[in-house]
Amino acid sequence: MSQPQAIIFDLDGVLTDTSEYHYQAWKHLADDEGITLTHEENDEHLRGVGRRESLMYIIRGHQYSENQIQEMMERKNRYYHALIERMTPKEVVPGGVALLEEIKSAGIKVAIASASKNCRLVLDRLQLTSYFDGIADGNCVVNGKPAPDIFVYAAGLVNVFTPNCIGVEDADAGIQAIKAAGMKAVAIGPASRFHGPDKVLPNMENKHLKDLLVE
């Protein structure tokens, strides 16, 4: 692929550091319940993972009813909301806006593939919504990452075949989803976190369209 027709970004941990807010909200809930949860566990088991799957990891080995599970998911979401409600456009990652502008002016479609049901709220707080030609969020598909569905759905929103797309992710589950969708995968973060991306970048700072391109 010389030039992709679409670049599809994950949101949390790629365009903004909301993965830290997800962790803080889960940590608050885990503390309420007297369960330990570390940053390392978050990175290894929760990064990019859906709300219910994340809770199932945290409460593994404990007995809870479905009603209690529902209540805990709602409580975590309240803690998360309290954090994101204060977000401002300053919380877009360094280099993020310049990169989106460069991609758009090259005539390439840009879309979001996020597992989060709070995706649109975060994009609004960051004043990023208008940059995207398509937004696929946690309300769009049933099977979460590493299933390819959310990336395939996002490609459909911008009407581009998946082999002509590049996906950008900070979670290994997301890299697996991108590869399963038949796209090229660019990983953001330490190389040790990922299995089989086409390219790894430490972050988006001073990155240009050419840095995302994959042979």
> Residue 143, CB half-sphere, CA atoms under 13 Å: how many?
11
Q: Is 12 near ligand G6P (CB under 6 A)? A: yes
If you ran DSSP here, which 8-state letter would residue 170 be given?
A: S
In terms of Cα–Cα distance, which of 2, 199, 11 is closest to 119?
Answer: 11
At closest approach, how far in Å is the CB of 119 from ligand G6P?
Answer: 7
The helix or strand, by DSSP H or E, that contains position 167, with its residue range, turns out to be strand 165-169
Residue 9 phi, psi (nearest 5)? -100, 135
Contact pick of 30, 72, 112, 118 for ligand G6P (by CB under 6 A): 118
Q: Is 189 near Mg ion (CB under 5 A)? A: no
Contact pick of 19, 150, 175, 183 for ligand G6P (by CB under 6 A): 19
Contact pick of 6, 37, 49, 150 for ligand G6P (by CB under 6 A): 49
Q: Is 115 near ligand G6P (CB under 6 A)? A: yes
Q: Is 176 near ligand G6P (CB under 6 A)? A: no
Which is it for the CA torsion 178, 20, 72, 82, positive or negative? negative
The helix or strand, by DSSP H or E, that contains position 186, with its residue range, turns out to be strand 184-188
- Residues comprising the chain, all counted: 215
At closest approach, how far in Å is the CB of 166 from ligand G6P?
Answer: 19
Active site residues: 10, 12
Binding interface with ligand G6P (CB under 6 A): 12-13, 19, 22, 46, 48-51, 54, 77, 114-118, 138
